Amino acid sequence: MGKKERLGDYRSKRDFSHTPEPSGGGKKSKKQPIFVIQKHDASNLHYDLRINIDGVLVSWAVPKGPSTDPKGKRLAMRTEDHPLEYADFEGVIPKGHYGAGTVMVWDTGTYRNLTEKDGQEVPIARGLVEGHIAFWFEGRKLKGGYALTQTGKGKKWLLVKIKDKEADARRNPVSTQPNSVLSDRTLNEISKEKHE
Ligand code: MN
């Protein structure tokens, strides 16, 4: 599927004359293995994990946010692919529009594919189709291995911290590091931003 078709769902949900979100289609480098976690104060506060896979941000909504404890399984609901330009979007989606509420870049960085099967590396795009991917995050807040595994055939996946030197059951960055990594603002400060 081309990038344009992959963003069809994203674009059909939004009216770009009313939302400050990017429509995509820019010239951003497609290859950079970046990830972003956006804190999104919509009808329910949640964390959107997005990973660049073949030029689009493949996305999951994680209600509780990521855990640094390997025992902390987190529900992750797959959502529509987002354009790469979304990775540095921070702002307010107006009332009455899809995803209305404040968006913050809670963490971002690069990742390395760790997906394997029977000791062989599996390309991340194939892991995605087969329902299991793993990656090493080099974020500002999150570091180390994480795995995402689909449970059944629907949108439900589980996000789990892999046991490694970065695992830490006592750390809880979702509550101790609540601000934006781009602007150091709180959700409340971003929510007062004015859009022309
Ligand atoms: Mn969201």
Using the mean position of ligand 1's atoms as its centre, give its distance from the Cα of residue 37 in Å.
Answer: 10
Average of pLDDT values for 127-144? 97
Contacts of 55 (CB under 8 A, 6+ apart): 3, 30, 31, 84
Using the mean position of ligand 1's atoms as its centre, give its distance from the Cα of residue 61 in Å.
Answer: 6
Using the mean position of ligand 1's atoms as its centre, give its distance from the Cα of residue 40 in Å.
Answer: 5
Specify the range with the lowest mean pLDDT, choosing from 21-30, 63-72, 136-145, 167-176: 21-30
Average of pLDDT values for 139-161? 96
The C-alpha atoms of residue 11 and residue 5 are separated, in whole angstroms, by 10
Average of pLDDT values for 149-171? 96
**Which pTM value belongs to this model?**
0.93
Using the mean position of ligand 1's atoms as its centre, give its distance from the Cα of residue 188 in Å.
Answer: 17
Determine the Cα angle at 81 with ends 80 and 86, to 5°. Answer: 115
Residue 155 has pLDDT above 50, yes or no: yes
Q: Helix count (H) and strand count (E) of the chain?
A: 5, 11
pLDDT at 1: 61
Using the mean position of ligand 1's atoms as its centre, give its distance from the Cα of residue 101 in Å.
Answer: 9
The C-alpha atoms of residue 164 and residue 11 are separated, in whole angstroms, by 38
Using the mean position of ligand 1's atoms as its centre, give its distance from the Cα of residue 113 in Å.
Answer: 24
pLDDT at 26: 72
Secondary structure letter of residue 86 according to DSSP: G
Task: Give the mean pLDDT of the chain.
Answer: 93
Using the mean position of ligand 1's atoms as its centre, give its distance from the Cα of residue 171 in Å.
Answer: 24
Highest mean pLDDT among 22-26, 28-32, 126-130: 126-130
Residue 86, φ and ψ in degrees, nearest 5: -70, -20
pLDDT digit string, tens, across residues 33-82: 999 999 999 999 999 999 999 999 999 999 999 999 999 999 999 999 99
Using the mean position of ligand 1's atoms as its centre, give its distance from the Cα of residue 23 in Å.
Answer: 16
- Picking from 125, 165, 123, the residue whose alpha carbon sits closest to that of residue 143 is 165
Percent with pLDDT over 90 in the chain: 85
Using the mean position of ligand 1's atoms as its centre, give its distance from the Cα of residue 62 in Å.
Answer: 9
Name the pLDDT band for 6 (thresholds 50, 70, 90): confident
Name the pLDDT band for 31 (thresholds 50, 70, 90): confident
Using the mean position of ligand 1's atoms as its centre, give its distance from the Cα of residue 38 in Å.
Answer: 8
Residue 124, φ and ψ in degrees, nearest 5: -65, -35
Using the mean position of ligand 1's atoms as its centre, give its distance from the Cα of residue 172 in Å.
Answer: 21
pLDDT at 153: 86
3-state helix, strand, coil in the chain (%, to 5): 15, 40, 45
Residue 2 has pLDDT above 70, yes or no: no
DSSP 3-state assignment of 75? Answer: strand
* Helix ranges (DSSP H) in the chain: 3-6, 8-12, 124-130, 173-176, 187-191
Contacts of 118 (CB under 8 A, 6+ apart): none
Residue 196 has pLDDT above 60, yes or no: no
